[in-house]
Structure 1
């Protein structure tokens, strides 16, 4: 049996527009509704993500501590949470990667999109969006996670049929 050459994935910069089919970008920027509060001492960046705990679920907050991934990195599996959204907010001041695919079909290597997230950008995966588990870079990194607790199985995992690789690239610090 011949070995298939891995597909080399392209890393995109994370923007609201590019990520919109998969969920929300969570960041304080002039592109979102914001206004002063607390007698003008604080700027509130308002309603940044649609947190969806799903039917019969409730929102929970956790901290995930991710070990850094070494690039190049092979994507061998994807997961999704069909009942609810899942938000990742970086706490360690480090960039990270997200890999996503359309929720409508089982992902293939051709469907994958890779985004480089800066240290001040979080993501909220919409319910059912395929994504790779946490991809911390550079150092051990903590993330605040807002997701669902409740009845029923809320994690589907699929092994990728064809190999795909995130190339080694200079990564922002």
Structure 2
């Protein structure tokens, strides 16, 4: 199978099968801090198994070369994983549905999104995704995910007959 992924704009509706879009645009809020602050409440849910704990990290990512051959995806079966851009730069996402829980991905189900620098994402537990795809060198992301016992990162490598490509438009 040969497929060039079409990069879609990141919207809450389009991304819903994979997780949450973390953004304030068009979202409800309430006022706090004596009326000086809008709180956009619960834009995503941190999902953890009973043995894990939530942690906050910063990832510094480098730009990859495009067109990019998508050779693998990863998932985190014990907890969700959120990425929030710290410098306001756009970034890319490549995702596939959770599936039946097995270690298999239908290449036809793989999708690509472009997040604006004002959007973050929260991958739900078990959602297949490509490692971070920064569009600028040394871009930084605030990451909320799980720490704890067990291997919380499965990797799936596509067979050589599957050629998925991501091109910047």
Specify if TM > 0.5: yes
Q: Report the counterpart of residue 145 of structure 1 in structure 2.
A: 143
TM-score normalized with structure 1 length: 0.91
Large movers: runs of 4+ above 2 Å? none
Match in the other structure for 1:85: 80
Cross-structure match for 1:164: 164
Partner of 2:121: 123
Shift of 1:164: 0.5
Q: Which runs of 5+ in 2 are unaligned?
A: none
SS in 2 for 1:110: helix
| Kept in 2: contact 1:108–1:160 (CA 8 A) | no
* Separation (CA, whole Å) in 2 of partners of 1:58 and 1:113: 30
Q: Tell me which residue corresponds to 2:107.
A: 109
CA contact (8 A) 1:70 1:137 kept: no
Alpha-carbon deviation of 1:55? 1.6
**Alignment partner of 1:18 is 2:14:** yes
Cα RMSD (Å): 1.2
Q: Which residue in the other structure is 1:59 paired with?
A: 54
The CA distance in 1 between the partners of 2:48 and 2:106, in whole Å, is 27
> Of residues 42, 56, 63 in structure 2, which corresponds to 1:68?
63
* TM, length-normalised to structure 2: 0.93
Inter-partner Cα distance in structure 2 for 1:91 and 1:138: 12
In 2, the alpha carbon distance for the partners of 1:139 and 1:152 equals 32
Output the CA distance in 2 between the equivalents of 1:147 and 1:133.
Answer: 14
Aligned counterparts of 2:122 and 2:157: Cα–Cα separation in 1:
23
What is the number of residues matched between the two proteins?
164
Superposed CA deviations along residues 7-50 of structure 1, whole A, max 9, x for unmatched, are: 111110000000001110001122x2301111221111100101
Question: Structure 1: which 5+ residue stretches go unaligned?
Answer: none
